[in-house]
Amino acid sequence: MKIRDWTTLGAMVIGVAGVGIAAKSLLPENFATEQMYGQQEEIVDASTWPEIEVSFLRCGHVNLPEFLVVRGALSIATHTNAYSAVLIRHPQGTFLYDTGFCADIYAYLKDQPLFFRTVLGGFVFEQALSSHLQQLEIKPGDLNFAIASHLHWDHVSGIPDIPGVPLRLNRVEYEAAKEGLSGPNSELVWRLMGNNPHRLFDCIGPAYMGFRSSYDLFGDGSIVLVPLPGHTPGNTGMFINRAGGSRLFLIGDAAWCAENYIRPATMHPALWSLFTSDDATARQTLIDLHRFVRQHPEIPIIAMHDASMQEAFMTVETARLVRA
C-alpha cells in the first residue's frame, strides 16, 4: 500500500474515532446510587425558626443547548443559565448569598483573554445588583454581610456594588483560592472582591440532613451551611429554614440545574472538566443531592444558575407574600 493510502486510511480511522468519542460524550453515565437511601437523619427542631424573606435577584443569563447542561439529554432545546444573587431578610440580619453582577461588570472583564470575554463572559446583562437593591430600597449599608457560595468570578461579580460590606467565606474555599486551586481567573476574583473585609467560617458542626458537617450561622437552626465540594474545594450550600413558606436549599454550583441531581448527570464532559476542580468529589456531591431530593421532595433545591427553579420559586414566594 502506498504512503498516501496509508495516510488516508489513518485519517479515516482518526476521524471515525473522533466521531465515536464525540458521540459517547453525549450519552448518559451510570452513577452508583443503589445503596444510598438507608441513611439515618437527625430530627430537626423547627420550633426556633423565624419568618425569613428570600428573593432571587437575577442580573444576567446565557442560553445553552440542553445537551451541554445535562449529559445524556440529547436535546438542543434552549436551557437558560442565570447569574443571580439571593437576598435573605432574617430577623438577625439582611444578607446576600452570592452577588450577581455589578454595574461596571464589563469594565472588570475588558482586560480578560479573548476566550474568556467571548465564551465565559458571553452573557446577556440584565440588571446590576445595585439596581435591584435600589428598587428594594436597600442601601449597601443595610446589608450585614454577603456569603459567597464559592470563589468563582461570576459569584463575586456584584461585590463592587456593595463596597465595605463584610464577606463571609468558607475557610476551605478561601485557602484553596489563595493557592489557585478553586479555578482560573483568580486575579479577577480578588480584584472583584476589592477591599471588603472578610471573615472565614468553618463547616465543622454536626452532620445535617444527611450531609457530613455543618455551620449554624445564627445558632437557631434557621440558616445552616453545609459543604458541597467538587466544583470547587469549598463550594458551600445553604439551608434556609423558616416558619412561613417552604424550606429551601441553595447549592451554589454543585449542579447547574435540577436535572443534574435528579438523574443524576454531569454537564457535557467538556464543560464538566473545565469547571470542576475534583471530578470524583463533585460526582459524590451529585449523588448526595440525588439522595436528598429523593428523600425530601418537599424542599426545593436551587442551583445558582438554575433560572427555571429560581423563577418557579419566586412565583410561589410572591403569591405567598401577597396572601400574607
Res 148: pLDDT: 98
CA-CA distance, 237 to 72, in Å (whole number)? 26
Structural domains of the chain sorted by starting position, each given as residue range(s) with its CATH number in brackets? 42-323 (3.60.15.10)
Q: What is the 3-state secondary structure (H, E, C) of 226-286?
A: EECCCCCCCCEEEEECCCCCCCEEECCCCCCCHHHHHCCCCCCHHHHHHHCCCHHHHHHHH
Q: In whole angstroms, what is the distance from residue 215 CA to residue 218 CA? A: 9
Bridge partners of residue 99, in order along the sequence: 85
Mean pLDDT over 74-86 rounds to: 95
Place of cell 446510587: 33
Provide CB contacts within 8 A for 319, sequence distance 6+: none
Q: Which three cell numbers stand for residue 121?
A: 463572559
pLDDT per residue as tens digits for the range 210-224 = 999 999 999 999 999
Strand 145-147, strand 167-170: pairing: parallel
Summarize the confidence of residues 114-138 as an average pLDDT. Answer: 92
| Rounded Cα gap, residues 70 and 266, in angstroms | 6
Check whether 37 has a pLDDT greater than 70.
Answer: no
Q: What is the mean pLDDT of residues 233-258?
A: 96
**From start to end of 50-138, where are the E strands?**
53-65, 78-90, 93-99, 124-125
Say if residues 72 and 91 touch (Cβ distance below 8 Å). no
Q: 66 near 115, Cβ under 8 Å?
A: no
Predicted local confidence at residue 4, as pLDDT: 46
User: How many angstroms separate the CA atoms of 212 and 220, rounded?
Assistant: 19
Phi (first) and psi of residue 207, to 5 degrees: -55, 145
CA distance 304 to 149: 9
% of the chain with per-residue pLDDT over 70: 87
- Quote the pLDDT of residue 44: 78
171 near 200, Cβ under 8 Å? Answer: yes
- Residue 145 phi, psi dihedral angles, 5° rounding: -170, 175
* Phi, then psi, of 264 in degrees rounded to 5: -85, 160
Angle at 306 between CA 252 and CA 131, to 5 degrees: 85
Mean pLDDT of the region 95-121? 92
Q: How far is CA 54 from CA 177, 212, 245, 269, 317, in A?
A: 28, 26, 10, 33, 8
Grid cell in block for residue 165: 460590606
Amino acid present at 115? F
Count of other CB atoms within 10 angstroms of residue 157? 28
Does residue 234 carry a pLDDT above 80? Answer: yes
Q: Which pLDDT tens digit goes with each residue over 261-295?
A: 999 999 999 999 999 999 999 999 999 999 999 99
Predicted local confidence at residue 38, as pLDDT: 47
pLDDT reported for residue 34: 58
So what's the pLDDT on residue 42?
Answer: 67
